[in-house]
């Protein structure tokens, strides 16, 4: 397929205007949560816990931005850290990944530290909004020309809004601040009975509040539209000014 056909704006626009498709998509989202669809995948041997479409989207972003540093809050099994590190390895250069998590379980830490991509990964244990963890991230970002941030830890409104406030200054013009699991706001209430987040209290509500007072970022609607399926609607924030 010729390159000019790989991203057809007319097809994407038609897809976006398909009301029945949008309805079906929301039905599928609900089932994806119930059956923990995002837990089905690994990257280079580590569980990544992401929707495949979002994995592809992050690949496109990272290839285009070529960040010197990627900061991720929320490590879990380390699949995303390994994913980001493998992309930086393919790009070349000295790009690094810093992951922050309130608890890094021993078996996950060992698996990440012994992975072939470990040379590009640094882990920080602590709350992503705690002073010491934030200080360490800023130390890692010092002198970096291109920084990308992905937020995927505690999904409550208060926590994500704090993360947005604390980490958004690190993101450089042309790069991205990606907020995962904004889809929670669009799903029926009660799908997360064992979690502190819900409809009205989630990453999307935090993003909307954040954007009211921050004009450095804009939602990348084009990216979101072509994905069709994403756990981060309104969550791909492009930095449009220094």
SS3 173: coil
Work out whether strand 121-125 and strand 46-47 pair parallel, antiparallel, or are unpaired. unpaired
Distances (CA, A) of 34 to 38, 133, 187, 190: 10, 33, 11, 11
**What is the SS3 assignment for 106-145?**
HHHHHHHHCCCCHHHEEEEECCCCCHHHHHHHHHHHCCCC
Q: Are strands 147-151 and 176-179 parallel, antiparallel or unpaired?
A: parallel
As a whole number of angstroms, the distance between CA 53 and CA 226 comes to 10
Q: What is the pLDDT of residue 1?
A: 37
pLDDT for res 15: 92
Q: Strand, coil or helix: what is 156?
A: coil
Rounded CA separation 116/79 (Å) = 13
Q: What's the pTM?
A: 0.95
List, in order, residues 6 or more apart from 210 with CB less than 8 Å away: 161, 164, 165, 168, 217
What is the tens place of the pLDDT at every residue in 223-239?
Answer: 999 999 999 999 999 99
Rounded to an integer, what distance in angstroms lies between the CA atom of residue 217 and that of residue 230? 19
Say how far apart CA 241 and CA 174 lie, in whole Å: 8
The residues with which 201 forms a beta bridge, in sequence order, are: 198
Residue 43 exposure: Cα atoms within 13 Å on the Cβ side: 22
Domains recognised in the chain with CATH numbers: 3-239 (3.40.50.150)
pLDDT in tens, 13-63: 999 899 999 899 999 999 999 999 999 999 999 999 999 999 999 999 999
Lookup: tokens for 208: 């909307």
Q: What is the pLDDT of residue 210?
A: 98
Q: Point out which residues pair with 219 in neighbouring strands.
A: 237
pLDDT the model gives residue 111: 98
Residues of the chain with pLDDT below 70 are 1-6
Q: What is the CA radius of gyration of the chain?
A: 17
- Nearest 5°: the CA angle 115, 118, 119 is 140
pLDDT at 190: 86
């Amino acid at each position: 397929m010729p390159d000019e056909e790989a991203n057809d704006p007319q097809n994407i626009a038609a897809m976006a205007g398909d009301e029945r498709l949008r309805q079906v998509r929301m039905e599928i989202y609900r089932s994806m949560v119930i059956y923990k669809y995002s837990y089905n995948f690994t990257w280079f041997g580590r569980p990544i816990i992401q929707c495949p479409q979002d994995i592809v989207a992050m690949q496109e972003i990272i290839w285009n931005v070529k960040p010197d540093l990627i900061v991720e809050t929320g490590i879990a099994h380390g699949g995303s850290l390994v994913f980001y590190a493998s992309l930086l390895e393919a790009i070349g250069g000295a790009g690094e990944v810093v992951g922050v998590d309130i608890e890094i379980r021993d078996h996950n830490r060992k698996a990440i530290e012994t992975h072939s991509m470990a040379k590009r990964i640094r882990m920080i244990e602590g709350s992503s909004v705690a002073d010491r963890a934030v200080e360490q991230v800023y130390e890692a970002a010092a002198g970096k020309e291109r920084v990308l941030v992905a937020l995927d830890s505690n999904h409550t409104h208060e926590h994500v809004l704090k993360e947005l406030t604390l980490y958004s200054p690190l993101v450089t013009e042309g790069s991205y601040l990606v907020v995962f699991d904004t889809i929670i706001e669009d799903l029926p209430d009660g799908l997360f009975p064992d979690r502190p987040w819900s409809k009205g209290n989630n990453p999307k509500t935090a993003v909307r509040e954040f954007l009211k007072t921050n004009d450095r970022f804009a939602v990348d609607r084009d990216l979101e539209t072509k994905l069709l399926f994403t756990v981060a609607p309104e969550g791909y924030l492009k930095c449009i000014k220094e």
